[in-house]
Structure 1
Amino acid sequence: MANPVASKILAFDVFGTVVDWHGSIAREVDAMGLGVAGSAFALAWRAGYQPAMQKVRSGELGWTRIDELHRMILDELLVRFGISGLDEAGRQHLNRVWHRLEPWPDSVEGIRRLKARYIVCTLSNGNIGLLTDMAKRAGLPWDCILSAEVFRAYKPDPAAYLGVASTFDVRPDEVMLVAAHHDDLAAARGCGLLTAYIERPLEFGAVHPKDVSPRPENTMHCSSIAALAEALGC
Structure 2
Amino acid sequence: MDGRTQQVEAVLFDTFGTVVDWRTGVATAVDDFASRHGLDLDGTAFAMRWRELYQPAMEPVRTGERDFTPLDVLHAENLRIVLAEHGVDPAAFDEAELRWLNEAWHRLPAWPDSAPGLARLARSVTVGALSNGNLALLSRLAKHAGLPWDVIVASDVTHAYKPQRQAYERAASFLGLRTEQVMLAAAHNDDLRAARDAGLRTAFIPRPPSTGPRRRRTWHPMRTGTWSREIWSSWRRSSATGPGPRTGTSHRLRCELQFPPQLHAARRMPGCQDRYRPAVARGSSRGRWCAPPGSPPRTG
Normalised by the length of structure 2, the TM-score is 0.72
Greater Rg over alpha carbons, structure: 2
Distance 1:35 1:2, change over 3 A: farther
Q: Which moved more, 1:221-230 or 1:93-102?
A: 221-230
Give, in angstroms, the shift of residue 5 of structure 1: 4.8
How far apart are the structure 2 equivalents of 1:48 and 1:170?
34
| Cα 1:209/1:131, change in 2 over 3 Å | farther
- The answer to whether the 8 A contact 1:203-1:209 is kept is no
Distance 2:47 2:233 in 1: 23
Does structure 2 retain, via aligned residues, the 8 Å contact 1:12–1:179? yes
Q: How many residues align?
A: 232
Query: 2-side partners of 1:152 and 1:73: how far apart?
Result: 20
In the alignment, structure 1 residue 185 sits paired with structure 2 residue 186: no
Contact 1:194–1:219 under 8 Å retained in 2: no
Give the match for residue 23 of structure 2.
22
**Hey, what does 2:8 align to over in structure 1?**
7
**1:27 Cα deviation (Å)?**
1.4
Residues 138-177 of structure 1 aligned to structure 2 (within 5 Å)? 138-177=145-184
* Higher percent of residues as helix: 1
Q: What pairs with 1:105-144 in structure 2 (closer than 5 Å)?
A: 105-144=112-151
Query: How far apart, in 1, do the equivalents of 2:86 and 2:233 lie?
Result: 35
TM-aligned CA deviation for residue 58 of structure 1: 1.9
Partner letter of residue 29 of structure 1? V
Query: What root-mean-square deviation, in Å, do the aligned CA atoms of Structure 1 and Structure 2 show?
Result: 2.5
Q: Is the partner of 1:3 in helix, strand or coil?
A: helix
Report the equivalent of 2:207: 200
Query: Are 1:227 and 2:236 an aligned pair?
Result: yes
CA contact (8 A) 1:179 1:197 kept: yes
Unaligned runs of 5+ in 2: 239-249, 257-300
Structure 1 counterpart SS, 2:16: coil
Q: CA deviation at 1:163?
A: 1.2
SS of residue matched to 2:129 = strand
* Counterpart check, 1:36 vs 2:41: yes
Q: Percent identity?
A: 44
Task: Identify which range, 30-39 or 62-71, moves more after superposition.
Answer: 30-39
Q: Quick one: which amino acid aligns to residue 15 of structure 1?
A: F
Taking the aligned partners of 2:166 and 2:234, their CA distance within structure 1 comes to 25
Tell me by how many angstroms 1:208 deviates.
2.8
Q: Take 1:110 and 1:67, find their aligned partners in 2: how far apart are those partners?
A: 27
Q: Structure 1 pair 219/189, CA: closer, same or farther in 2 (3 Å)?
A: farther
Bigger relative CO (Cα 8 Å, ≥ 6 apart): 1
User: Within 2, Cα distance between the matches of 1:224 and 1:66?
Assistant: 34
Query: 4+ residue stretches of structure 1 with deviation over 4 A?
Result: 219-225, 228-232
TM-score (norm 1): 0.91
What is the SS of the residue equivalent to 1:199?
coil
Letter of the 2:116 partner, please give it.
E
Structure 1: stretches of 5+ with no match in the other structure: none
1:167 positional shift: 1.3
Q: Deviations over 1:129-167 (max 9, x none)?
A: 000000011110000111121111111111110112211
Alpha carbons 1:195, 1:219 under 8 Å: kept: no
